[in-house]
Structure 1
Amino acid sequence: MFTGAMAALVRLDRDLRVDFIRGFSLWAIFVNHTPGNWLGHITPRNYTLADATESFVLLAGYAAGLAYGSIMDRQGWFFAASRVMGRVFTLYVAHIFLLVVFTAQVGLSAARLDSAAYLDELHLDPFASDPYRALLEALLLRYQPSFLNILPLYITVLALFAVAMPLLRWPAVMLGASAGLWAAARVFDITLPSWRGEDWFFNPLAWQLLFFIGCALGYRPPNGHPLSVPWRRWAGALCWLMLAAGAVMTVLLYFAWEFTEARLPAFAPFLAAIDKASLHPARLLTILALTYLIAHLVPKDAAWLRSRAAQPFNLMGQQALPVFCAGIALSFLGRVALEESDGWAMQSAVNLVGAAALIGLALLTAWYGSEKRGGRQTPPSGLQPPPRIDNA
């Protein structure tokens, strides 16, 4: 019955490759944000320079270009921009709610376990020393504790998109301007202001390039000629070469740094400069190579995308915002549990309970959304997919 409900609530009138990858990325974010989780050793961050964050931002841009671009073409830029800003407000409210929940659970755990290390490590110590100022700065997005920096990035680039949306009709101009801003942010170290002088963990002036690339790929113009990059065998070979080189660099950078410094002293500075904050070119090329290969080698109508194994990821990908927020909150609870015991039993419990909670929340959110739209469902065996409403 559970799988039947999932199958009924997964919207099939979408590109399920996007939903599956976004759902997988959300699961990986939960795993990677749970220190001590053994599954963290098999997530993509261990063998590619790009990780779940890059895919999340790229696919968010794809969804924005697809959903709001069509609204702009039908009802004009102002109406579409107002819809985008409505989504920005929703994301802002979700961020503040997550901030309150996360800060409360970390603070309570720190008090009960008599461990201030949680507050220091997760950059929540200002709530202990200057709580009112910390709250104000958090509301202004000028203060972002650890794990709470992805939504501010998303909020900022989506607000930029509301202004730049008309440029969807001229993708070369949009991407050229976006690339120029990315280059300037990297070369001149330009970022948005923060409270205590630290740079944004994800510099939105750099990461907007990946978001706008997704927008350009997702937009469907009225003339029926969307932006596409045709398959070329040499380009595919270059992508595979990039991924192989990235895998080697990932090992040298994160798992064999002492060897790199000792045996590859000329190469070590380049590896050390592969930053995440301002979207290093190597990380950007990695996610673009992955996108090119998946777009051309995985058919949109692949049977496995509609299989029972894929349904949980599809559903999570289609309900990304609540699943993301729950994953961040659950990751800290998983950390506390694994610090008590990190044996097989606890590892299994953390991962099974966490995955079940994320899937259950996605299922509940999808069902509630269909009910709210007036699509009251019959019993699972007779369910039909609800009408499509894109959530960028």
Structure 2
Amino acid sequence: MNSRANIDVASATRLSLPKAAAHRDTRLDVLRALALITIFINHVPGQFLERLTTKNFGFSDGAEAFVLISGISVGLAYGTRFTPGNRLSTAWKAVRRAFTLYTAHMITTFITLVLFISGAWIFRQAGLLCEVNILAVLMDPARGIQALLLLGHQIGYNNILPMYGALFLMLPLMLVLEARSPLLLLVVSGSIWLIAGIYQIAPHTRLLEGFWFLNPLSWQFLFVIGFVAVMHVKRGGRISYNPVLFALSLAYVVLSFIWVTDKLWVLGDHLAALGLPTVITGFDKTFLSLPRLLHVLALAYLIINVPFLSRVLRRSADHPLTILGRHSLSIFVAGTILAMAGQVILYITDKDPAVGGAYVIVGIVAQFAYAYYLEHKRLDTASRRTLATSIATIPLPMRVENRR
């Protein structure tokens, strides 16, 4: 009996973990990891690796990719569970996630303040206090801290999580509309995006006149597109190859590449002369102008319909990029803190290119190391839970015998 009990427990432990991993599409993890690395590099401006990121070769960058992937992931995590009997609990989980994101944002915000203030004091670089919107907080700390806590002021390069958290607060309504009609959700979402862009409707900042850098009323449209697309696939639909749409997507990506690399921004003035709203003809990131939106969607369509790209992105569950993308929030927080420290270092070294490049490489390696640490903890926790569950299912006499 003792031997049989041990075999049952060991078998249950071995079989349960791979089964869960087998249902996870690692392409999303890999793409999310690439977006996180891109965001990190771009958040340490002034070093040569920044020239190699996607923003230098097209209208969109890592932020657009991250939000589209997030919409897809949310569809898998929440949309498939939003069924009668589970709707209230699923909606509540989305709201709780929003508060988790708020907590993460507060962590990165106040650590950023500490890094820049400490850097100014230790290295006698008062100019650091004028960087990344910090000075407005220091000029009136009581009002400034309150504005930070209420999201009425955002430190530079710490503005993705507030927008992302706002999307999760909207998610329960998105789930309700999508369950009723995916088309209805797309129409409502697209209308909000267009109206917000035309009339410049966005959350206002308090210390400095302006808007949130990333307007959630605009970015929700990209999020919803990813959400609706994956729900369509989960219900048996397909995002089919269409030669005309494929050619248009490829042409648009090439046009965007030429536009950005040859710096043809003057052509934007000709588009503006058409009299159309800026959200249609401009390249504004706050309100997610149409050229940026179309670019990331065109890239996504090409990736989906080029088998080679799909195969390249489908990595094993233990691949470094898969592991990095699996722990996206923790890695994003760590990457933001590392990026802010990097900005301080580059400032006090007069943006030394060798220092900047070396720091970014070390920062990326550190994020992979942190991801492996988090993965080890996850697997260890999962193994313990599986073992406990397996033991609980063994008849009591066998468990007693096994303990002996």
Q: What residue number does 2:327 align with?
A: 319
Q: d(CA) in 2 for partners of 1:54 and 1:279?
A: 9
Q: CA deviation at 1:333?
A: 2.2
- In the other structure, the counterpart of 2:214 is 202
Aligned: 1:122 with 2:132: yes
Residue 24 (str. 1) matches residue 28 (str. 2):
no
Q: Which residue of 1 aligns with 2:118?
A: 108
2:229 partner amino acid = L
Amino acid at match of 1:37: Q
Cα distance change on mapping 1:343 and 1:122 into 2, 3 Å: closer
Indicate the larger mover: 84-93 or 364-373. 364-373
The secondary structure found in structure 1 opposite 2:83 is: helix
Deviation at 1:205, TM superposition (A): 0.6
SS in 2 for 1:57: helix
Is 1:266 aligned to residue 275 of structure 2?
no
Aligned to 1:24, what secondary structure does the other structure show? Answer: helix
1:278 paired to 2:287: yes
Name the CA distance, whole Å, in 2 between partners of 1:166 and 1:71: 12
Deviation at 1:292, TM superposition (A): 0.6
Distance in 1, Cα, partners of 2:70 & 2:308: 21
Shift of 1:342: 5.8
CA distance in 2 between partners of 1:367 and 1:75 (Å)? 35
Q: Is the counterpart of residue 154 in structure 1 residue 161 in structure 2? A: no
Q: Distance in 2 between matches of 1:193 and 1:36?
A: 29
Task: Give the C-alpha shift of residue 194 in structure 1.
Answer: 2.1
Q: 1:77 aligns with which of 66, 84, 87?
A: 87
Distance change (3 Å), C-alpha of 1:126 and 1:341: closer
Q: Report the counterpart of residue 387 of structure 1 in structure 2.
A: none
Q: Distance in 2 between matches of 1:56 and 1:49?
A: 15
Partner of 1:137: 147
Alpha carbons of 1:95 and 1:267: their partners in 2 closer, same or farther (altered >3 Å)?
Answer: same
Give the Cα–Cα distance (whole angstroms) in 1 for the partners of residues 201 and 380 of structure 2: 45
Residue 183 (structure 2) aligns with: 172
1:186-209: CA deviation from partner (whole Å, max 9, x where unpaired): 111111232133111011111110
Instruction: Tell me how many residue pairs correspond in the alignment.
Output: 361
Contact 1:206 1:279 in 2 (8 A): yes
Does residue 1:331 correspond to 2:343, yes or no?
Answer: no
Q: Which of 298, 316, 321 is matched with 1:289 structurally?
A: 298
The CA deviation at 1:304 is 6.1
CA-to-aligned-CA distance 1:46-102 (integer Å, 9 cap, x gap): 001010000111111111111111221264221100111111111111111111111
Correspondence for 2:359 = 350
Which residue number in structure 1 is paired with residue 228 of structure 2?
Answer: 216
Sequence identity of aligned pairs in percent? 29
Secondary structure of the structure 1 residue equivalent to 2:156: coil
8 A contact 1:66–1:220 mirrored in 2 = no
TM-score by length of 2: 0.81
Deviation, 1:251, is: 2.9
Which residue in the other structure is 1:58 paired with? Answer: 68
> Which residue of the partner structure matches residue 199 of structure 2?
188
The alpha-carbon deviation at position 125 of structure 1 amounts to 0.9
| Cα distance per residue 1:243-264 (max 9 Å; x no partner) | 1111122235xx466xx48xx9
Give the stretch that moved more between structures: 38-47 or 158-167.
158-167
TM normalised by structure 1 equals: 0.84
Cα distance in 2 for residues equivalent to 1:284 and 1:207 = 9
Q: Which has the higher helix share?
A: 2
| Alignment partners' CA distance in 2, 1:207 and 1:304 | 25
- Given that 1:110 and 1:119 are in contact with CA atoms closer than 8 Å, whether structure 2 keeps it comes out as yes
User: In the aligned structure 2, how far is the partner of 1:342 from the partner of 1:191?
Assistant: 34
User: Does the 8 A contact of 1:61 with 1:212 survive in 2?
Assistant: yes
What is the distance in 2 between the residues matched to 1:367 and 1:376? Answer: 14
Partner AA of 1:45 in structure 2: K
Equivalent-residue separation in structure 2 for 1:110 and 1:298 (angstroms)? 51
Question: 1:13 deviation in Å?
Answer: 3.0
* Aligned 8 A contact 2:25 2:314 in 1: no
Q: Which runs of 5+ in 2 are unaligned?
A: 1-17, 388-404
- Cα deviation for residue 347 of structure 1 reads 4.4
Larger Rg: 2
Matching residue's letter, 2:188: A
Cα deviation, residue 324, structure 1: 0.8
TM-fit CA distance, 1:370: 2.8
Unaligned stretches of 5+ in structure 1?
1-7, 379-392
Distance 1:284 1:256, change over 3 A: closer
Is 1:17–1:300's contact at 8 Å kept on the other side of the alignment? Answer: no
Q: How does 1:214-253 map to 2 (within 5 A)?
A: 214-219=226-231, 225-252=235-262
Q: C-alpha displacement at 1:374, in angstroms?
A: 4.2
